[in-house]
Amino acid sequence: MNEVVCSINHVVKCLTDAGVTPDLANLLTIIGGVVLVATVPLITVIFLIWIERKVAARVQDRLGPNRVGPFGLLQTVADALKMLTKEDITPIGADKFIYNLAPIIAFATVILIWAVIPFTPLHIGADLSIGLLYFVAVASIGTVKIMIAGWSSNNKYALLGAFRTIAQLLSYEVPLVLSLLIPVMIAGTMSMQGLVHAQGGMWYVFMAPVAAVMFFIANLAETGRAPFDLLEAESEIIAGYNIEYSGFKWGMFMAGEFMHAFTASLLAAVIFLGGWWGPGVEQVPVLGFLYLGLKTFVVYLFSLVLRSTVPRVRIDQLMALNWKWLVPISVANVLVTAFLLQLTKALGLAPQTGDFAAALPQTIILLLGNLAIVLVVLNLVRNIGRNERMAAAATDAAVGHSEDERVAVGAPGH
Amino acid sequence: MAVVHEWAFIGVFFSLAWVFPFLPILGARLLAPRKPNAIKQSTYECGVETVGDTWVQFKVQYYIYGLIFLVFDVEVVFLFPWALAYNQLDFFGFFAGLVFIFFLFDALVYAWRKDALEWV
Amino acid sequence: MLEFNAQTIAFIVFALFSLGGALGVVTTRNLIHATLYLILSLFGAAGFFVLLSAPFLAAVQVLVYIGAIAILIVFAVMLTRSMTRISDLYNRQWLLSAIVAGILFVVLLAGVIVPVWGVNGTQIDRPVSDVVAGTVDLGKALVDQNQYVLPFEVASLLLTAAMIGAIVIARDDQE
Percent of chain C whose predicted confidence (pLDDT) is above 90:
18
Q: Is there a contact between A170 and C36 if contact means CB atoms under 8 Å apart?
A: no
**For residue A248, what is the DSSP state?**
H
Cβ contacts from B onto C, under 8 A: 134
Give me the residue spans of the domains in chain A: 1-85, 88-331
Q: Of the candidates A140, A147, A148, which has its C-beta nearest C63's C-beta? A: A140
Q: How many CA atoms lie within 13 A of B13 on its CB side?
A: 24
What is the phi/psi pair of residue A85, to 5°?
-95, 5
| Residue B118 within any structural domain of the chain | no
Percent of chain C whose predicted confidence (pLDDT) is above 70:
78
| Residue B119 within any structural domain of the chain | no
Q: CB under 8 Å, gap of 24 or more: what pairs does A299-302 form?
A: A299/A216, A299/A265, A299/A268, A299/A269, A299/A273, A300/A48, A300/A51, A300/A261, A300/A262, A300/A265, A301/A55
Q: Of the candidates B58, B85, B111, which has its C-beta nearest C163's C-beta? A: B111
The boundaries of the domain holding residue C163 are: 134-175
Q: Are A294 and A266 in contact (CB under 8 A)?
A: no
Tell me how far CA of residue C87 lies from CA of A67, A73, C22, in angstroms: 58, 55, 20
Q: Is there a contact between A130 and C55 if contact means CB atoms under 8 Å apart?
A: yes
| Amino acid making up residue C167 | I
Could you say which residues from 79 to 138 on chain C have a Cβ atom under 8 Å away from some Cβ of chain A? 134-136
Percent of chain A whose predicted confidence (pLDDT) is above 70:
88
pLDDT surpassing 80 at residue C72: yes
The residues, any chain, with a CB within 8 Å of residue C148's CB and separated by 6 or more, are: C141, C142
Q: What's the pLDDT score for residue A3?
A: 41
**C135–chain B Cβ distance below 8 A for any pair:** yes
What is the phi/psi pair of residue A118, to 5°?
-80, 110
Give chain A positions within 8 Å (CB) of B58.
Answer: 163
Query: How far off is chain B from C97, nearest CA to CA, in Å?
Result: 27
If one counts every other C-beta atom within 10 angstroms of the C-beta of residue A169, the result is 25
- B21-72 pLDDT tens trace: 888 888 888 887 777 777 767 766 555 665 666 566 667 778 888 888 888 8
Q: Is there a contact between B94 and A338 if contact means CB atoms under 8 Å apart?
A: yes
Q: Of the candidates A156, A167, A251, which has its C-beta nearest B50's C-beta? A: A156
What is the phi/psi pair of residue A124, to 5°?
-150, 145
Q: How far apart are CA A112 and CA A34, in angstroms?
A: 10
Q: Of the candidates C79, C140, C153, which has its C-beta nearest B60's C-beta? A: C79
Which of C30, C63, C74, C167 is the best substitution to test chain B (most B C-beta atoms within 10 A)? C167
Q: How far apart are CA A81 and CA A353, in angstroms?
A: 54
- A313-337 pLDDT tens trace: 888 888 888 888 899 999 999 999 9
| Residue C167 within any structural domain of the chain | yes
* A70, containing H or E segment: none
Q: Is there a contact between C7 and B82 if contact means CB atoms under 8 Å apart?
A: no
| Nearest alpha carbon to residue A244 among A150, A144, A142 | A150
Could you say which residues from 40 to 99 on chain B have a Cβ atom under 8 Å away from some Cβ of chain A? 40-46, 50, 54-56, 58, 62, 65-66, 68-69, 72-73, 76, 79-80, 83-91, 94, 97-98
Q: What's the pLDDT score for residue C37?
A: 92
| Residue C90 within any structural domain of the chain | no
Q: Are A202 and A344 in contact (CB under 8 A)?
A: no
Query: How far off is chain B from C18, nearest CA to CA, in Å?
Result: 16
Within chain A, which residues score under 50 in pLDDT?
A: 1-7, 406-414
Q: How far apart are CA A206 and CA A365, in angstroms?
A: 11
Write the ipTM: 0.84
Give chain C positions within 8 Å (CB) of B112.
Answer: none
Q: What's the pLDDT score for residue B43?
A: 67
**C155–chain B Cβ distance below 8 A for any pair:** yes
Q: Are A222 and A322 in contact (CB under 8 A)?
A: no
Q: How far apart are CA A256 and CA A145, in angstroms?
A: 11
Give chain B positions within 8 Å (CB) of C17.
Answer: none
Q: Are A363 and A202 in contact (CB under 8 A)?
A: yes
| Residue C109 within any structural domain of the chain | no
Average pLDDT of chain A, as a whole number? 81
**B79–chain C Cβ distance below 8 A for any pair:** no
pTM strictly above 0.90: no
| Residue B11 within any structural domain of the chain | yes
Give chain A positions within 8 Å (CB) of C70.
Answer: 144
Q: Would you call the peptide bond into A227 cis, given omega within 30 degrees of 0 as the criterion?
A: yes
Work out how many domains chain C is built from and give that number. Answer: 2
Q: How far apart are CA A163 and CA C77, in angstroms?
A: 13
**A24–chain C Cβ distance below 8 A for any pair:** no
Q: Are A248 and A165 in contact (CB under 8 A)?
A: no
The DSSP bridge partners found for residue A124 are A118
What is the phi/psi pair of residue A226, to 5°?
-60, 145
| Residue C120 within any structural domain of the chain | no
Work out how many domains chain B is built from and give that number. Answer: 1
User: What burial letters (b/e) apply to A316-342, b meaning 16+ CB within 10 Å?
Assistant: eebbebbbebbbbbbbbbbbbbbbbbb
* CATH (domain of B84): 1.20.58
Q: At what angle do helices C31-51 and C6-27 cross, to 10 degrees?
A: 160
Q: What is the largest CA-CA distance in chain B?
A: 70
**C36–chain B Cβ distance below 8 A for any pair:** no
Q: What's the pLDDT score for residue A95?
A: 80
Which is it for the CA torsion A207, A209, A210, A215, positive or negative? positive
The boundaries of the domain holding residue B99 are: 2-113
SS3 state at B21: helix
Are C138 and C79 contained in the same domain? no
The DSSP bridge partners found for residue A118 are A124
